[in-house]
Amino acid sequence: MQVSQLDVVDLPPSVAPAARYRAPLAAALAARATALGAALDGVRARPDVLAGIAAVLVEALRAGGKVLVAGNGGSAAEAQHLATELVGRFKRERAPLPVLALCSDGAVLTALANDYGYAEVFARQIRALGRPGDVLVAFSTSGESENVVRAALAARERGMTVVAATAAAPSRLAGLADLALRVPVTDTPLAQEIHVVLLHLLCDVVEAELAATGPNADG
């Protein structure tokens, strides 16, 4: 059955919204709006890290470097999201940018996990692909995922800049990063939602800068 507008009268009982869900969902939405607002206010009060990350990404891409991105689970989705927006486009037509999510190739991931262990799946790729002047963006709400921590170590060995996006708690990943964006929440889903908001802001800045000058322009 095709429905162009949500009209519970026309929907069959099997898919009609149950009244008992309305109040708890409305309460959950209100609570989420409050939590998201408070978290974004916390990030807004300390803008230097986010601005620094934007500058690092723009400078690396403008100089001909690339950005490698890593994460597990929901953070892998964030890594792929960032790469998608910059290889494709966010809001503007411009040249594609060299951004690669290291969690995207199932054959590579399973081969490396089988031969070297899952803790090495990102570090091995960084040793193959990373060069001085490149950037690693590592998403991990805990900041303690072993494979992401090892990715940061490998990136430092390769002379790359390390950017970490975590939740509020201090972590090994944040300690290894040149720039650590620790969003001021402890709840994992909320941290991931904030990460998506912030990666969109970063995409907007990077794209605006490089759409105007090109990825290899001077100045």
pLDDT tens-place string over residues 99-124: 999 999 999 999 999 999 999 999 99
CA distance 95 to 136: 21
pLDDT tens-place string over residues 154-207: 999 999 999 999 999 999 999 999 999 999 999 999 999 999 999 999 999 999
Kindly give the pairing relationship between strand 99-101 and strand 135-139: unpaired
Question: 170: domain CATH number?
Answer: 3.40.50.10490
Residue 73 in domain: yes
Its domain, for residue 93, covers: 47-213
State both tokens at 172: 């090994």
Which residues touch 64 (CB under 8 Å, ≥6 apart)?
133, 215, 216
Residue 13 in domain: no
Residue 95 in domain: yes
- Looking at the structure of the chain, the number of domains it has is 1
**Cα torsion through 152, 57, 219, 210, rounded to 10:** 150
Residue 172 in domain: yes
Say what the pTM is: 0.88
CA distance 112 to 121: 5
pLDDT tens-place string over residues 59-81: 999 999 999 999 999 999 999 99
